[in-house]
Amino acid sequence: MRRAWPTLVLLCSAGAFAEELQISFQPPFVLLGSGATVSVAVRLPRSDARLGSAVNAGTLQALDGPDAFERHFLWTPPGTRSPMTALLVFWIEERGSPPEVSLARIPLVGRTNLEIHTEPSAQVRVEVAGASFGPAQADKRGRAEVPIDVPPGIQTVQVVAQAHGRLRTRNSPLDVPKSSTLAIAFSPQPLVRGEPGWLIVARPEAWDPAQLEVDLSGGRLGVPSYAAGRTLFPVVPDKPATELTAKASLRSDRIDRAEVTAAISPSVGEAPSRIARFSASASAGGFYAGGSNAGAALAVDGSYSLPAADGRFTLELELGFRNASLSAPVTGLGSVHSSVTAMSIEAALRVLFFERGPWAVHGRVGGGVLPFRVSARSSFQPPFTQSGLAPEGFASAQVGYRFRTFELFAELRGGIAPAKTSTLDAQLGGLLLALGARYQIQ
Amino acid sequence: MRLRLTALLLPLCACGNGALPPPAILSIDPAEMVACEGATVIVGVDAVLPTRFDYSQSAASANPDIALRIGDVPVGSGKYVPGGLLTAAVPPVFSPGNYDVGLRLSDGRPEAILPAAFTVRPNPYPDRYLLDFVPDQTQAQPFDITIRAQGTNAPVYKCTVALSSDRGSISPRASGNFQQGVRTERVTIDRSFPAVVITVRDDGGRVGSSNSFRVGP
């Protein structure tokens, strides 16, 4: 069931960042120490978009989304009790193009007991960003404590004390510990040698670009582009470097600093891609092609996912077994029984069409040969056998469910595999339904 | 389990045997006959008929047509019999000698041949023939004559003899088969003659003649 997101919806856009991301989260703010978490939904402009993310505080955990156009996250606040603005940074990664960055800001409200010194027995209340807390009565020595909620960015509060008919108002500074507000990340994740990369630096509030200081080790920074709250640096890794480390800080506030390190993966063709892998599978089921063209179908399969296209294409070699039999009368002579046993040797290309969470839908096309043997026995003549070779072509769809390195799948296959000899006219293709399990070896 | 898998895969990989086995003739019984007698033989064959399995129709068929021959002479019914024991009548048209027995199926597979499997023995001719006394007859009226083989093979002689008369025309021109060396044949002389003699002759040139009798008008 789809959740409603009635709270805060941000349409993030900014000049050079052409494509907007629609970000919504619930609740709209967090009282630190309450244990609350924030549910975040990001609406994508297209289903195949690769979404990157970073935060300046707390942790962001990806969840399953309701459809291909929406990604869900759970953001957990940091352990600090000091008010601040949490910054959630999302961007679309497009190979060879600058990331399209969007920001979401979550106010983190701190709760504290404000100690106040005033006249003895005075009635005291505190105004914080338009909200009133108290009243509390000062003791005989003029001391009072008022619990207040402090939103981020508040440096002073107004204390209102009333004693002996007199009302006294004064501003009281807050001692709010400061923490870094910078969020920093590399895009794409991981960086690929020889392909364009970027460093994203973002902050809840806009800042003077001249204040930003970035130190990059392992590569070189290009000319940055600025937009409200974020800066984008092209980065070029040095040839021998295997990782990049960026440190960012604001000259005006040395507490505002952040650091990120990213590995540099080999370029395509330089080494096998991390998504290249081998797997093995086994399946069992049955086929039907009309009449007595029906029987058991077993198969074992070895496959290799091609490094290109995110491993969507997989080459497969399949060895299988099929069997069908026929018993029928022969006019004037008696009856016969025959059976066809075939071994399938086939190559196939499997394509990943759709993937969400543990579910995946694959399409397969392939072909091969089926060496087969037909044997017959009858009531009127000697038994005999014949051998032959049947060609086969097929297309199929697989629905799989993955857990860890295993995948359970169901396959529906349509194929043509005419098995013919001087005595036999059979079809070992038709519709084939099988259940199987795949194990990812590497 | 491993042995079972191997047993399964090995025959499958032995590809290339797409043809049906050729037929074979296993036996013929009896394997000989007397040339003039003919015989009824039983031929045992090992043959897979042209068979068809149509899996789409869940149907099977087999063509029972066969061609059985002894020498160059077709014998038998032309049809396969379940079990492969074919009965065939061999006509008395063979000269003495040994003959191949052949079997051909309707799908063009090589003919099965059992070489020199059937022997035709020479006829056991008697030394001569005697005809019982023939009384006077009437023209065109049938009458019986009795022919008796004489000599060593006379009791087993079962062949036929040719019939002729020195006057007029006799019919039939050949007798039926002898039984234990004796044959009674009903014949007719077409015209009247005061004295007629009937002569019998076998394939080996041995002869016998009747007494002279009158054929009246």
pLDDT in tens, A312-357: 899 999 999 999 999 999 988 999 999 999 999 999 999 998 877 6
| C-beta atoms of B82 and A343 within 8 A | no
B57: nearest CB among A291, A343, A384: A291
Per-residue pLDDT band at B54 (split at 50, 70, 90): very high
| C-beta atoms of B8 and A321 within 8 A | yes
Q: What's the pTM?
A: 0.54
Least confident of A179-193, B37-51, B74-88: A179-193
Q: Where are the alpha helices (DSSP H) in A112-216?
A: none
Is residue A311 located within the same domain as residue A382? yes
- Boundaries of domain holding A229: 8-108+179-265
Residue A2, in any domain of the structure: no
Is residue A131 located within the same domain as residue A232? no
Identify whether the C-beta of residue B105 lies closer than 8 Å to the C-beta of residue B79.
no
Q: Are strands B143-150 and B128-131 parallel, antiparallel or unpaired?
A: antiparallel
Location of structure tokens 């993937």:
A355
Q: What is the pLDDT of residue A262?
A: 86
| C-beta atoms of B62 and A336 within 8 A | yes
Least confident of A91-105, A337-351, B179-193: A91-105
Give whole-number Cα distances, A74 to A27, A40, A57, B210, in Å.
11, 6, 13, 133
Q: Which residues of A230-252 are buried (b: 16+ CB within 10 A; e: fewer)?
A: bbbbbbebeeeeeebebebbbee
Greater confidence, A297 or A99?
A297
Identify whether the C-beta of residue A411 lies closer than 8 Å to the C-beta of residue A402.
no
Short-list A39, A81, A28, CA closest to A57: A81
Is residue A113 located within the same domain as residue A205? no
Give whole-number Cα distances, A181 to A187, A233, B25, in Å.
20, 19, 100
Q: How far apart are CA A337 and CA B17, in angstroms?
A: 20
Q: What is the pLDDT of residue A267?
A: 60
Least confident of A82-91, A270-279, A318-327, B85-94: A270-279
Contacts of A328 in chain B (CB under 8 A): 53, 58-60
The H-or-E segment that residue B7 falls in is: helix B2-13
Q: What is the pLDDT of residue A15?
A: 34
Greater confidence, A17 or A94?
A94
| C-beta atoms of B12 and A343 within 8 A | yes
Is residue A207 located within the same domain as residue A92? yes
Short-list B129, B125, B123, CA closest to B185: B129
How long, in residues, is chain B? 217
**Number of domains observed in the structure of chain A:** 3
Per-residue pLDDT band at B17 (split at 50, 70, 90): low
Is residue A194 located within the same domain as residue A161? no
Per-residue pLDDT band at A380 (split at 50, 70, 90): very high
Is residue A242 located within the same domain as residue A387? no
Residue A60, in any domain of the structure: yes
| C-beta atoms of A371 and B62 within 8 A | no
A vs B: CB pairs below 8 A: 119
Residue A149 has pLDDT above 90, yes or no: no
E-only strand ranges, A266-331: 277-288, 294-305, 313-330
Q: What is the pLDDT of residue A97?
A: 76
Residue A270, in any domain of the structure: no
pLDDT tens per residue, range B148-162: 999 988 999 999 999
Per-residue pLDDT band at A404 (split at 50, 70, 90): low
What would you report as the CA-atom Rg of chain A, rounded to the nearest whole angstrom? Answer: 34
Do B20-121 and B128-216 share a fold? yes
Which residue numbers of A have CB closer than 8 Å to B's CBs?
289-293, 321, 324, 326, 328-334, 336, 338, 340-343, 371-374, 376, 378-382, 384-389, 421-427
Residue A3, in any domain of the structure: no
Residue A240 has pLDDT above 80, yes or no: no
Per-residue pLDDT band at A442 (split at 50, 70, 90): low
Identify whether the C-beta of residue B132 lies closer than 8 Å to the C-beta of residue B148.
yes
Is residue A288 located within the same domain as residue A356? yes
CATH assignment of the domain containing A347: 2.40.160.20
| C-beta atoms of A421 and B18 within 8 A | yes
Is residue A52 located within the same domain as residue A159? no
| C-beta atoms of A423 and B46 within 8 A | no
Residue B116 has pLDDT above 90, yes or no: yes
Q: Are strands B51-54 and A424-427 parallel, antiparallel or unpaired?
A: parallel
What is the arithmetic mean of pLDDT over B39-61? 95
Give the residue on A whose Cα is nearest the Cα of B20.
A386
What percentage of chain A exceeds 70 in pLDDT? 91
| C-beta atoms of A387 and B14 within 8 A | yes
| B96, two tokens | 């003495």
Residue A413, in any domain of the structure: yes
Identify the residue among B53, B63, B66, B107 best suited for mutation to test binding to A, counting A beta carbons within 10 A and taking the highest. Answer: B53
Short-list B151, B166, B140, B65, CA closest to B108: B65
Per-residue pLDDT band at B18 (split at 50, 70, 90): confident
B21: nearest CB among A329, A333, A384: A384
Q: What is the pLDDT of residue B10?
A: 41
Look at the alpha carbons of A340, A343, A345, A348 in this order and tell me if their dihedral is positive or negative: positive
Of A212, A240, A265, which residue sits at a domain end?
Answer: A265
What residues form DSSP beta bridges with A326? A338
| C-beta atoms of B82 and A326 within 8 A | no
Residue A340, in any domain of the structure: yes
Least confident of A43-52, A71-80, A419-428: A43-52
CATH assignment of the domain containing A163: 2.60.40
Distance (Å) from the alpha carbon of B28 to chain A's nearest alpha carbon = 18
Is residue A232 located within the same domain as residue A242? yes
Peptide bond before A83: cis, by omega within 30 degrees of 0? Answer: no
Residue A23, in any domain of the structure: yes
The number of CA neighbours under 13 Å toward the Cβ of A442 is 12
Is residue A16 located within the same domain as residue A65? yes
Contacts of A373 in chain B (CB under 8 A): 11-12
| C-beta atoms of B58 and A292 within 8 A | yes
Name the average pLDDT for chain B: 90
Q: What is the pLDDT of residue A20?
A: 66
Is residue A164 located within the same domain as residue A131? yes
Distance (Å) from the alpha carbon of B45 to chain A's nearest alpha carbon = 10
Identify whether the C-beta of residue A340 lies closer than 8 Å to the C-beta of residue A389.
no
Of A235, A265, A295, which residue sits at a domain end?
Answer: A265
pLDDT tens per residue, range A278-307: 899 999 999 999 999 999 999 999 999 887
CATH fold group of domain B20-121: Immunoglobulin-like (2.60.40)
Written as one letter, the residue type at A342 is A
Distance (Å) from the alpha carbon of B15 to chain A's nearest alpha carbon = 6
Short-list A380, A387, A377, A381, CA closest to A424: A387
| C-beta atoms of A381 and B54 within 8 A | no
Distance (Å) from the alpha carbon of A425 to chain B's nearest alpha carbon = 5
Q: Domain B128-216: what homologous superfamily?
A: Immunoglobulins (2.60.40.10)
| C-beta atoms of A380 and B13 within 8 A | no
Domain ranges for chain B, please list them: 20-121, 128-216
Identify whether the C-beta of residue A312 lies closer than 8 Å to the C-beta of residue A290.
no
Q: How far apart are CA A4 and CA A401, in angstroms?
A: 28
Residue A115, in any domain of the structure: yes
Residue B3 has pLDDT above 50, yes or no: no
The number of CA neighbours under 13 Å toward the Cβ of A397 is 5
| C-beta atoms of B60 and A343 within 8 A | no
Of A230, A265, A300, which residue sits at a domain end?
Answer: A265
Written as one letter, the residue type at B67 is A
Distance (Å) from the alpha carbon of A332 to chain B's nearest alpha carbon = 9
Identify the residue among B55, B61, B63 best suited for mutation to test binding to A, counting A beta carbons within 10 A and taking the highest. Answer: B55
Least confident of A100-104, A263-267, A419-423, B127-131: A263-267
Is residue A191 located within the same domain as residue A249? yes
